[in-house]
Structure 1
Amino acid sequence: MDPKSHQLTPAPNPGPSSPKPTPPSAWYSPGRLSPILTKLAHASAPFLSIFLVVHLSAPVVAGIAGSGVGSSVMLLGREYYQTRLGERYLLFLPFAVHVTSGVVKRVVLTPALESTPGQQKEQPTTHARPRPRPRPRPLTSLLSLTAYTSLLLFLPLHFFTHRLGPSSTHTTPELDLELPKLALHEFPVRSWALYAGLVGCVGVHWVEGAAVLVRGRGAGVDAGGAGANAGFHLRPRTKRLVLAALGIVAPVLAGVWRLSREDVWVMEALGERYREALRVVWVYRV
């Protein structure tokens, strides 16, 4: 017997192993859920924008034509959103979707995205480059800062002052711009702080959010054409702040200023009920 036949032959050298295909992630994984939440937030934004246009028209008109015409515009606006179906499906539902999608994306998805191991730096040239993982927007950004300041401070106080307070004192049918006039006359510092803070946060958030929506639509991406100059998202942040200040904040606060300069025309009994409605809010009790 040939002794060489008993020698072990070396195993063939395998070639470079091909990367294992990654299994598709579940629909609730951070990588898939984050775009869904983003689309929900973007889809609900136009409903809130329409409400803001209707709601802020009253003080803007009051700044031009006085509180009487402004109150008429406010009553017309109620026909749009203060109905059983309109308020529920055109305001509260989009607002809940907008807030919930943003909060869930930050609170639930951010830790998962940050704890997910990153892709390897060296990738074969024959394979497509992996998509960058979504990153949460910093809390210090204007969009996030104005959103959470409005949500946690100014919006609850405004809702209690102009909705729950009058409802508790049965003054909702008689409610018009005389209520903010009375608040501005008797509690000027607190009322101005609440109105200016709310309008400022909402205006900046509105403009910054519009820039995000336009950026998502891909407008103004041609570097050398007219789109690059006219694209809203390519403007510096300073120009967006100027737009928010001159286009939203200034007209609304001009109406608030005119309301503060007019006399309060309200009967004594109704005025006392307005004061009771204001005292429902803790800001007007301290």
Structure 2
Amino acid sequence: MVSNPADKPNAGAPWRTRASSVLTALSHGSAPFITTFLLIHLTAPAVANIGGSALSSQTMLLGREYYQTMFGERYLLFGPLFIHSSSAIIKRLFSPHVSRPLTSALSVTGYVTAFCFLPVHLITHRLAPADPAPPISSLSPSELDYEFVKAALSGWPRRSTVLYSVLVLGVALHAADGIGIIWSTWSPGLKLPGRKARRALTGAAIVPVLTGLAVIAREPLYAFASMAARYQAALTQSIVYRL
């Protein structure tokens, strides 16, 4: 009797299963670092509801002490971001069992953020402003405050509103669904609120962020003309702002 190849055990299953467990741990373990960064980073636009862009700029400069030092940026921000996204992608490609479809909210928000909105945000707010060539001439941390955000919102109101809003909403929805998976994996005995409740709570938490951006957008641009020109040059390094 000729055996059916489909009946033979999959020799790759054991190592794939072990690798999947490691990748899960890496993806879940990096999430708290990203969450900490987000809480610090998104506090700045939220406080604009109280003190406008000036308070946002002060808050952002304080927050940079955590995530924009040589150590913090490498090991508390970019490292966890890379580990979180790459481990999830590798797990989807090689895991013997895919736990959720690509069309799930967690997958869609994760991949769209990682491959679309986050790169645009990183280029326009971190890489392009550091260009030493004129007219940008390496915007310093003190120069790269919420006047830069205001310049984006005033110069390109529709696309900037979409970019900021979709990025915040996507990250929030990803976090709301992701925390449930992490919690059920590592602390199955402790019950969290249901998915709808988590999404509602997360949505309520980001309302001040979005309204803070609206406050900033309504303010006049206080930057000098020369600084505004440097802001514009940095923003137009991204194709999104050149179209």
Instruction: Measure the CA separation in 1 of the matches of 2:186 and 2:56.
Output: 36
How many residues are matched? 229
Instruction: Measure the CA separation in 2 of the matches of 1:244 and 1:186.
Output: 30
- Counterpart of 1:39 (choices 18, 25, 28) is 25
Instruction: Measure the CA separation in 1 of the matches of 2:217 and 2:158.
Output: 11
Q: Residue in 2 aligned with 1:158?
A: 121
- Counterpart of 1:244 (choices 202, 207, 226) is 202
Gaps of 5+ in 1: 1-22, 114-133, 222-226
Q: Alpha-carbon deviation of 1:27?
A: 9.8
Q: Counterparts in 2 of 1:1-286, with a 5 A limit? A: 29-109=15-95, 113=96, 134-168=97-131, 169=136, 170-173=138-141, 174-219=143-188, 221=189, 231-232=191-192, 235=194, 237-248=195-206, 250-286=207-243
Which structure's CA Rg is the greater one? 1
Does the 8 Å contact 1:67/1:177 carry over to 2?
Answer: yes
Structure 2 residue identity aligned to 1:204: L
Q: Alpha-carbon deviation of 1:63?
A: 2.2
- TM-score, normalised via structure 1 length: 0.76
Structure 1 residue identity aligned to 2:99: P
Q: Alpha-carbon deviation of 1:136?
A: 3.0
Q: Alpha-carbon deviation of 1:162?
A: 0.5
Moved more, 237-246 or 255-264: 237-246
- TM-score, normalised via structure 2 length: 0.89
Gaps of 5+ in 2: 1-8
Does the 8 Å contact 1:41/1:97 carry over to 2?
Answer: yes
Aligned residues: CA RMSD:
1.9
Over the matched positions of the two proteins, sequence identity in percent amounts to: 43
Higher RCO structure (Cα 8 Å, ≥6 apart): 2
Q: Alpha-carbon deviation of 1:172?
A: 3.2
State the 4+ residue runs in structure 1 displaced beyond 2 angstroms. 25-28, 237-241
